[in-house]
Amino acid sequence: MVVLAAYRTSAAKVWREEAEAQKTRADRLEASLKEINTRLSRIEIENERLVHLLTSLDPTKLAVIRLTTPPSEDD
């Protein structure tokens, strides 16, 4: 009986430690997910601003800018 009680106590300790480790991992993942969501929100806001900026450009002015700007390596 003493051996069985010792085994159960040891098993309970192992399970408790594993549960604590899983909780720590879950907390870390939750923090990472919050950071990702925050960054995504900022990117979406910036994207919306850039789309608005691009759609408000006058195409004739844009053509003049393209004619006066030397081509880059990406073009």
What are the extents of the domains in the chain? 2-67
Give the pLDDT band (50/70/90) at residue 2: low
pTM of the model: 0.56
Query: Which pLDDT does position 57 carry in this prediction?
Result: 79
Per-residue model confidence as pLDDT tens digits over 38-70: 999 999 999 999 888 888 877 777 666 666 766
**Closest CA relative to residue 5, chosen from 13, 17, 70:** 13
Query: Which pLDDT does position 54 carry in this prediction?
Result: 83
**Higher pLDDT pick, 57 / 28:** 28
Mean pLDDT over each residue of the chain, to the nearest integer: 84
- Which residues touch 56 (CB under 8 Å, ≥6 apart)? none
